[in-house]
Amino acid sequence: MHLAYPAVLSALLFCTGLYGVLARRNAILVLMSVELMLNAVNLNLVAFDVWLSKAAEETLHSGQALTLFTITIAAAEIGIGLAIVLAVYRNRGTSDIDKLRDTAESHDTEGPDHDALTAGQAEKAEATA
Amino acid sequence: MSPTSAALTTAADTHGFLSPTGVEIAFLLVGLVTFGAALVTVTTRQLVHAALWLVATLGGLAVEYLLLTAEFIAWVQVLIYVGSVVVLLLFGLMLTKAPIGRSPDADSGNRWAALTVALAAAATLIWVVVDAFRTTWIDLEGPAAGSTKATGESLFQNWVLPFEGLSVLLLAALVGAIVLSRQAKETAADGPGTGCRSGNRTEAGAPSATGVPAPAATEPGAPSEKESR
């Protein structure tokens, strides 16, 4: 098999995940896009490991071992990420990452975004406390 | 029958670029399905549908692993991603009370900037990758490179220490998820109690009062789910 097939598919999936991370507003959808990016990297690792294990005499199968480690770490990451999202949802009542602007500059909350203004007052009260 | 198989072997021997082998055609078709499902995942406005299209993407990737003769990785992908991560994501969607129907604000305002960045990255990556590996071929003949035997031998001969370290990391993630869930419960419990700080905290939670009574129901969900993994 030509190596370009898995490599190009991996690049396409990675950029799809990149678009999702940048364009999505719900935190859980952002986590889904991160999963897409991780899977693209996994496909690359597996393809190059299969290529190199046939090309070299001695191989450690490092690509496949790293793929297994990536899958495990992704599972841990999604667990922690969802716990954080649920904690934020319990505190703020939203999982919309555009509304979590505690660390933004102060003039951002005075901007034309009235939704952020009303939601920001409670957060400001909490931040000053 | 024999002329077609002979033509296939000669095509594989000469590595003809315009006469793809059967594996390449299968990889291409499954790859198209996978990429389409990934596109729907990041563009659909129905949040639950996004999670379900993610199942199609991850399943397609498992088939691609099988076509690359990495069978153990393929089944691990099916078990962990399709079996557990997507279920976790669906639980998360339900616990944050995601709307079932179409949600008009699923995409943020900087969608066009994101599209520009993604397209530029895709063009650059594909150009570089195709240019670099134009004459590289994966040899899929012979014993499978990713059979369970080969993967297990390399994993437990060369990668034992990272493997054990990973189990510690999983334990830490488990404990961390439980702590994150319990902390919120304690602050909610002493919220109506004393102090101006807790008073402000309940005030901060007040605008979302429609979503807040849920915690009692949501709390047991998150930790027990982690344990099941």
Place of tokens 């969900």: B221
**Structural domains of chain A ordered from first start:** 4-95 (1.10.287.3510), 98-129 (no CATH)
pLDDT band per the 50, 70, 90 thresholds, residue A6: very high
Q: Residue B37: left if φ>0, alpha if ψ -120 to 50, beta else—which one? A: alpha
Q: Which residue of chain A is at minimal alpha-carbon distance from B47? A: A29
Split at pLDDT 50, 70, 90, the class of B21 is confident
Residue scoring higher pLDDT (A55 or B17): A55
Q: Of B222 and A24, which is predicted with more confidence?
A: A24
A64 near B73, Cβ under 8 Å? yes
Q: ipTM exceeding 0.85?
A: no
Q: Which residues contact B136 (CB under 8 A, 6 or more apart)?
A: A2, A3, A4, A51
Q: Is B127 on the interface with A (CB under 8 A)?
A: no
Identify the pLDDT of residue B136. 84
When pLDDT is cut at 50, 70 and 90, the band that residue B229 belongs to is very low
Q: What is the pLDDT of residue B106?
A: 74
- Is A41 in the B-facing interface, judged by CB distances under 8 Å? no
Note whether A83 contacts B154, CB cutoff 8 Å: no
Instruction: Answer with the residue of higher pLDDT: A7 or A125.
Output: A7
**For residue A119, pLDDT beyond 80:** no
For chain B, what is the mean pLDDT? 77
Write the pLDDT tens digit of every residue in A64-82.
Answer: 999 999 999 999 999 999 9
Beta strands (DSSP E) in B63-170 are none
Is A50 an interface residue toward B (CB < 8 Å)?
yes
Give contacts of B81 with chain A, Cβ < 8 Å.
Answer: 35, 39, 71, 74
Task: Tell me the average pLDDT across B62-81.
Answer: 92
The answer to whether A113 contacts chain B (CB < 8 Å) is no
Give me the pLDDT at residue B227, please. 43
Question: Which of B39, B54, B96 is facing A86, going by the closest CB pair?
Answer: B96
- Count Cβ atoms within 10 A of the Cβ of residue A73 and give its class: 0-12 exposed, 13-18 middle, 19 or more buried: middle
With a cut of 50, say whether residue B202 has pLDDT above it. Answer: no
| Window 41-60 of B, Cβ < 8 Å to A | 41-42, 47, 50-51, 54, 57-58
A12-26, B20-34, B77-91, B196-210: the lowest-pLDDT one: B196-210
- SS3 category, B27: helix
pLDDT the model gives residue B185: 54
Burial class (CB in 10 A: 0-12, 13-18, 19+), B69: buried
List the single range of B93-107, B129-143, B156-170 with lowest mean pLDDT.
B93-107
Q: Is B79 on the interface with A (CB under 8 A)?
A: no
Task: Provide the CA B138 distance to its chain's centre, in angstroms.
Answer: 25
Residues of A in contact with B200 (CB under 8 A): 125-126, 129
Enumerate the residues of chain A whose CB falls inside 8 A of the CB of residue B23.
1
B211: distance to nearest CA of chain A, Å? 6
Task: Supply φ then ψ for residue B99, to 5 degrees.
Answer: -65, 140
Residue A13: closest CA among A50, A40, A33, A34:
A40
Give every CB contact of residue A45 below 8 A, 6+ residues apart in sequence. A63, A64, A66, A67, A70
Q: Which two tokens stand for residue A36?
A: 């897409």
User: How confident is the model at residue B16, as a pLDDT?
Assistant: 62
Specify the pTM: 0.76
* pLDDT value for A41: 95
User: Which residue in A has a C-alpha nearest to residue B63's C-alpha?
Assistant: A43
d(CA A20, CA B78): 22
Per-residue pLDDT, B134: 87
B25-71 confidence digits (pLDDT tens): 999 999 999 999 999 999 998 888 999 999 999 999 999 999 999 99
* Mean per-residue pLDDT, B75-94: 91
- Comparing C-alpha atoms, which of A92, A110, A58, A70 is closest to residue B206? A92
A91 vs B: CB within 8 A: yes
Strand ranges inside A62-119, DSSP E: none
Give residue B42's pLDDT. 92
pLDDT reported for residue A72: 93
Give percent above pLDDT 70 in chain B: 72
Q: Model confidence at B190, in pLDDT bands (50, 70, 90)?
A: low
A107 pLDDT band (50/70/90 cuts)? low
For residues A49 and B146, the answer to whether their CB atoms sit within 8 Å is yes
Contact A16/B177, CB-based, under 8 Å? no
Query: Residue B189 has what pLDDT?
Result: 55
Look at residue A67 in the predicted model and tell me its pLDDT.
93
